[in-house]
């Protein structure tokens, strides 16, 4: 066991411990929490944020930050649904490939600016997010595609479930788990994945050792865009709705979840397992706020606090570890 | 407090391998009449240079003499304008980084180029795994590669530890082990001992000798002459882009190296203090303790007197200095001109007239991205204000004055501090404190990373030459007091060794 994974494991273990405590407390207050229906609902709420978190995790390990994924997700989702309606196409695989590709192209554009002009990722992704959202609303349309106009194939796909003890578990969970497994394999078991860690740790050294840092930057942001595009269409399939103004405020939730999962904002550290825990924690918090009938506006306060506290903790941990 | 000098353990007459054997062999790499120009200057001027298999060569020279340029040419990083590079006697047409690596040339940079968040094993294995062009990583093989690399140097470091948690010395060993993983024939080390303690330097040198036994040549760049003399078999001295001297180390001593580096003899005349030790002391310290690090230290400092404080790392010298600057909580009494002081913060110390030049210029002293003028004035900003505003003319006049007083080599005061050489940067820091009209100036390790020429010009460089009294610290106490007029450098080394 490495010292890094020890450390991460420690923060993962901490998240896990807090998670269990929170769940027990919620269970005591409201025994309905432990019902399979509620838990399955909770898991279902993890899927889209979770896939987006995995994309942001990769970017953060590389030492960057991405705030453009909600915009890319919206663009990929809305364009795909509109194209499906225009063509009268009823299918699932091709639309998802299309949405993923749209996200990929957007992500590669981010990579182009970040690598070619050595720009700060925050500025690039802020800018590209604004441009993509603006173009979508300005050129494509502003009207929400409701359930009556949503492609039935997507609705059928998004609502597919498996029956476990009389409760329905969304099959989308397995897509999330599958993507998480692939991301774990990529980050820990491939040279390209290790390159992301090396680049985030020390870009100059990564270059000296012989990593192709250009390829790494393109891979990281391309992958982030592709996952965002995929998650966008998945989200729309699950809520039977395509809203071109969707995903507002997701940046904060997702980044909070990733940081909560122990990834370092300085790059070089982070894990898939931690991120999954972070996502679950965040979803749980928001979910229980709703159950406790706390006003929606307070969710922002809570998520903001979570991001600041979690970042402070990881920053403190990183500094301690490096001394 | 120039502890580095004292810590550099003097060799105990180790036998030097014979150099004659090499003259028969073919040089590993040879530079013939290599010239490298930068805009406005010749960084290297028609330099011939050879390295033979399994020899240890030291490059000496002041900052800007062409050492670094030479390293970059040998490692293929720089193109050159004239001349040729021969590998194993054959000219290489297009000598770049790839050709250098193919020829077995590896460089260990001062920052080691390691990945702090990755494990030792991964840091070691990355190069090999990359060169094999594999897509997937096998953790077992990664561990095995790492273990092999460390075994080759006969050292044990936890393979699963993150590199960021290792000591500097261990990180350096990881960097060396990594460099030796490929088929290395020449290892270049750029100032490898700068951040090491005496014992760590000894360990490094024994590793270097082991590398040599394996037939690998080592090219050393160092500022420390004792170390050059101890480790190398051949010394090459550069000055202003030219090779000025070269020969077997046995033919060199410190004075000869110094002369070659600077082109003139550095004054070895000692600082003589004409003062009256019977007058009331300027600074008087009684029963000063800093936790366990400093215990009941008494110290008197007279006006104009220079006292050197020496001791091994961990002897408490730094803690004592920090306490006097208000940075360490302490007990005991400190009086300045007879007035008792309460030094619980840096502001207290500065207000009382105590100035401190830190050991690490980079992290503690300078604003690298700011002009020299602003750096110089930073601690004496009150002297150049007019109401709420800065008096620019006065600021510039003061800065110009300091630059000329301190003999800081710069075309103008608007140059950024980060563009100056190490020695000049230090003068900026000292100049800054002198502007505050301090009563006591504390210099912590003033010559770390500074070359000989600069040392002699910073007026208080090494202990013996400049001090009136030298105090030796050990385990938090002052154990010895020597009169600088009568003591020799080796005496201090001897006494320090005795304390270990």
Q: Do the chains contact at A202 and B165, CB–CB below 8 Å?
A: no
Q: For chain A, give the percent of residues with pLDDT over 70.
A: 94
Q: Do the chains contact at B113 and A194, CB–CB below 8 Å?
A: no
Measured between CA atoms, how close is B374 to chain A, in angstroms? Answer: 28
Q: Residue A137 has what pLDDT?
A: 95
pLDDT per position as a tens digit, A243-297? 999 999 899 899 999 998 888 888 999 999 999 999 999 999 888 888 778 887 8
Q: Do the chains contact at B160 and A2, CB–CB below 8 Å?
A: yes
Question: Which residues in chain A show pLDDT less than 70?
Answer: 1-11, 317-323
- Nearest one of A241, A247, A263 to A183, comparing CA atoms: A263
Q: Is B402 contained in some domain?
A: yes
Considering the domain architecture, whether residues B303 and B435 belong to the same structural domain is answered as yes
Stretch (H or E) spanning B35: strand B29-38
Interface probe with B: pick from A1, A4, A320, most Cβ of B within 10 Å: A4
Q: Is B405 contained in some domain?
A: yes
- Distance (Å, whole) CA B298 – CA B154: 46
φ/ψ (deg, to 5) at A22: -60, -40
Q: Is B269 contained in some domain?
A: no
Q: Do the chains contact at A197 and B113, CB–CB below 8 Å?
A: no
pTM, to two decimals: 0.73
Q: CA dist B369 to B154, B391, B394, Å?
A: 43, 22, 22
B97: which residues sit within 8 A by CB, 6+ positions away?
B75, B76, B77
Chain A residue with Cα closest to B98: A210
Considering the domain architecture, whether residues B315 and B440 belong to the same structural domain is answered as yes
Considering the domain architecture, whether residues B396 and B253 belong to the same structural domain is answered as no
Choosing from B228, B262, B296, the residue where a domain stops is B262
Considering the domain architecture, whether residues B322 and B203 belong to the same structural domain is answered as no
Q: Is B480 contained in some domain?
A: yes
- Distance (Å, whole) CA A18 – CA A29: 16
Interface probe with A: pick from B110, B117, B164, B171, most Cβ of A within 10 Å: B117
List the 239-298 stretch of A: residues with Cβ below 8 A of B. Answer: 264, 268-269
Q: Residue B365 has what pLDDT?
A: 67
- In chain A, residues with a C-beta closer than 8 Å to the C-beta of B127 are 209-210
Q: Is B273 contained in some domain?
A: no
Q: Residue B276 has what pLDDT?
A: 61
Chain A residue with Cα closest to B124: A209
Interface probe with B: pick from A209, A213, A314, most Cβ of B within 10 Å: A209
CB pairs under 8 A between A and B: 77
Cross-chain CB nearest to B134 (options A191, A198, A264): A191
Considering the domain architecture, whether residues B211 and B295 belong to the same structural domain is answered as no
Number of residues that make up chain A: 323
- In chain A, residues with a C-beta closer than 8 Å to the C-beta of B115 are 197-198, 201-202, 205-206, 268
- In chain B, residues with a C-beta closer than 8 Å to the C-beta of A3 are 119, 158, 160-162, 165
Considering the domain architecture, whether residues B438 and B488 belong to the same structural domain is answered as yes
Its domain, for residue B303, covers 283-499
Contact B492, B463 (CB under 8 A): yes
Measured between CA atoms, how close is B235 to chain A, in angstroms? Answer: 28
Domain count, chain B: 2
Q: Which residues, in sequence order, are bridge partners of residue B239? A: B242
Q: Do the chains contact at B137 and A201, CB–CB below 8 Å?
A: no
Q: Do the chains contact at A191 and B122, CB–CB below 8 Å?
A: no
Q: CA dist B456 to B261, B451, B462, B494, Å?
A: 13, 9, 9, 24
Cross-chain CB nearest to B126 (options A188, A198, A322): A198
Choosing from B210, B229, B262, the residue where a domain stops is B262
Considering the domain architecture, whether residues B395 and B426 belong to the same structural domain is answered as yes
- Distance (Å, whole) CA B165 – CA A83: 53
**Rounded average pLDDT per 10-residue block, chain B, 500 residues:** 36 44 72 85 87 92 80 88 90 85 87 89 90 88 93 89 87 90 89 78 89 91 82 89 90 84 62 61 83 80 70 70 83 85 84 74 66 82 80 85 78 76 73 78 56 36 48 66 58 56
Q: Residue B24 has what pLDDT?
A: 55
Q: Is B52 contained in some domain?
A: yes
Cross-chain CB nearest to A201 (options B117, B129, B137): B117
**Neighbour count for residue B407 (Cβ, 10 Å):** 13
Measured between CA atoms, how close is B169 to chain A, in angstroms? Answer: 14
φ/ψ (deg, to 5) at B336: -120, 120
Contact B466, B459 (CB under 8 A): yes
Q: Do the chains contact at A190 and B137, CB–CB below 8 Å?
A: yes
Q: Do the chains contact at A191 and B135, CB–CB below 8 Å?
A: yes
- Distance (Å, whole) CA B313 – CA B307: 18
Considering the domain architecture, whether residues B178 and B321 belong to the same structural domain is answered as no
Pairing of β B56-61 and β B217-221 = parallel
ipTM of the complex in this document: 0.86
Q: Is B493 contained in some domain?
A: yes
Contact A99, A76 (CB under 8 A): yes
Considering the domain architecture, whether residues B394 and B354 belong to the same structural domain is answered as yes
Q: Residue A29 has what pLDDT?
A: 84
- In chain B, residues with a C-beta closer than 8 Å to the C-beta of A192 are 135
Q: Residue B10 has what pLDDT?
A: 35
Task: Note whether A86 contacts B: Cβ–Cβ < 8 A.
Answer: no
Q: Residue A131 has what pLDDT?
A: 97
Q: Is B133 contained in some domain?
A: yes
Measured between CA atoms, how close is A56 to chain B, in angstroms? Answer: 19
Domains and CATH numbers, chain A: 3-322 (1.10.3470)
- Nearest one of B312, B302, B309, B379 to B346, comparing CA atoms: B379
CATH number at residue B135: 3.40.50.300
Considering the domain architecture, whether residues B55 and B110 belong to the same structural domain is answered as yes
Considering the domain architecture, whether residues B309 and B233 belong to the same structural domain is answered as no
Considering the domain architecture, whether residues B396 and B251 belong to the same structural domain is answered as no
């Amino acid at each position: 066991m490495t010292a890094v994974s020890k450390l991460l494991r420690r923060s993962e273990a901490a998240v896990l411990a807090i998670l269990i405590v929170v769940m027990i407390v919620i269970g005591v207050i409201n025994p309905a929490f432990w019902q399979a229906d509620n838990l399955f609902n909770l898991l279902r709420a993890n899927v889209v944020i979770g896939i987006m978190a995995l994309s942001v995790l990769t970017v953060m390990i590389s030492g960057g930050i991405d705030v453009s994924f909600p915009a890319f997700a919206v663009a990929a989702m809305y364009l795909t649904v509109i194209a499906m309606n225009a063509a009268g196409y009823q299918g699932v695989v091709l639309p998802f490939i299309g949405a993923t590709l749209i996200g990929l192209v957007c992500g590669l554009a981010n990579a182009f600016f970040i690598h070619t002009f050595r720009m700060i990722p925050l500025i690039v992704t802020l800018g590209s997010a604004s441009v993509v959202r603006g173009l979508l609303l300005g050129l494509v349309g502003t009207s929400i595609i409701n359930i009556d106009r949503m492609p039935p194939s997507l609705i059928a796909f998004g609502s597919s479930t498996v029956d476990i003890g009389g409760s329905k578990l969304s099959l989308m969970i397995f897509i999330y788990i599958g993507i998480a497994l692939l991301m774990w394999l990529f980050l820990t078991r491939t040279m390209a994945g290790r390159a992301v860690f090396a680049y985030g740790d020390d870009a100059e050294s990564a270059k000296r050792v012989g990593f192709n840092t250009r390829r790494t930057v393109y891979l990281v942001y391309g992958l982030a865009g592709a996952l965002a595009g995929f998650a966008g269409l998945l989200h729309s399939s699950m809520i039977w709705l395509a809203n071109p103004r969707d995903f507002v405020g997701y940046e904060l939730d997702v980044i909070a979840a990733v940081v909560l999962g122990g990834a370092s904002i300085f790059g070089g550290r982070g894990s898939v397992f931690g991120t999954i825990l972070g996502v679950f924690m965040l979803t749980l918090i928001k979910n229980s706020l709703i159950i406790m009938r706390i006003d929606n506006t307070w969710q922002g306060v809570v998520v903001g606090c979570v991001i600041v506290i979690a970042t402070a903790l990881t920053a403190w941990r990183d500094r301690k570890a490096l001394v | 407090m120039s502890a580095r000098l004292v810590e550099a353990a003097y060799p105990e007459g180790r036998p030097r391998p014979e150099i004659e054997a090499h003259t028969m062999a073919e040089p590993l790499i040879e530079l013939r009449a290599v010239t490298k120009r930068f805009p406005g200057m010749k960084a290297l001027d028609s330099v011939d240079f050879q390295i033979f298999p399994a020899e240890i060569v030291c490059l000496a020279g002041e900052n800007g003499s062409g050492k670094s340029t030479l390293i970059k040419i040998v490692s293929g990083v720089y193109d050159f304008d004239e001349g040729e590079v021969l590998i194993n006697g054959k000219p290489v047409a297009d000598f770049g980084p790839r050709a250098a690596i193919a020829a077995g040339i590896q460089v260990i940079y001062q920052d080691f180029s390691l990945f702090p968040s990755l494990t030792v094993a991964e840091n070691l294995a990355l190069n090999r795994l990359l060169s094999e062009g594999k897509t997937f990583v096998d953790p077992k093989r990664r561990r095995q590669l790492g273990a092999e690399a460390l075994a080759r140097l006969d050292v044990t470091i936890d393979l699963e530890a993150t590199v960021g948690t290792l000591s500097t010395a261990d990180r350096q060993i990881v960097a060396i082990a990594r460099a030796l993983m490929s088929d290395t024939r020449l290892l270049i080390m750029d100032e490898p001992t700068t951040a090491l303690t005496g014992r760590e330097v000894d360990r490094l040198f024994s590793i270097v000798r082991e590398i040599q036994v394996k037939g690998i040549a080592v090219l050393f760049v160092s500022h420390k002459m004792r170390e050059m003399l101890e480790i190398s078999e051949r010394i090459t001295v550069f000055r202003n882009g030219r090779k000025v001297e070269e020969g077997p180390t046995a033919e060199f001593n410190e004075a000869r190296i110094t002369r070659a580096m600077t082109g003139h003899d550095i004054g070895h005349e000692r600082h003589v203090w004409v003062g009256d030790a019977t007058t009331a002391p300027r600074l008087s310290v009684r029963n000063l303790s800093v936790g366990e690090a400093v215990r009941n230290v008494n110290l008197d400092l007279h006006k104009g007197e220079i006292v050197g404080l020496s001791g091994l790392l961990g002897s408490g010298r730094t803690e004592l200095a920090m306490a006097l600057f208000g940075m360490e909580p302490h007990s005991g009494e400190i009086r300045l001109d007879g007035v008792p002081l309460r030094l619980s913060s840096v502001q207290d110390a500065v207000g009382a007239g105590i100035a401190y030049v830190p050991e690490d210029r980079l992290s503690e002293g300078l604003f690298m991205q700011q002009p020299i003028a602003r750096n110089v004035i930073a601690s004496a900003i009150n002297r150049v204000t007019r109401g709420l505003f800065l008096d620019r003319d006065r600021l510039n006049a003061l800065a110009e004055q300091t630059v000329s007083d301190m003999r800081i080599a710069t075309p103008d005061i608007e140059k950024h501090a980060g563009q100056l050489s190490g020695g000049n940067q230090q003068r900026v820091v000292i100049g800054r404190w002198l502007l505050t009209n301090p009563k006591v100036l504390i210099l912590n390790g003033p010559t770390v990373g500074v070359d000989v020429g600069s040392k002699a010009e910073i007026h208080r460089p090494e202990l013996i030459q400049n001090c009136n009294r030298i105090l030796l610290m050990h385990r938090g106490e002052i154990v010895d007091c020597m009169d600088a007029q009568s003591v020799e450098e080796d005496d201090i080394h001897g006494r320090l060794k005795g304390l270990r």
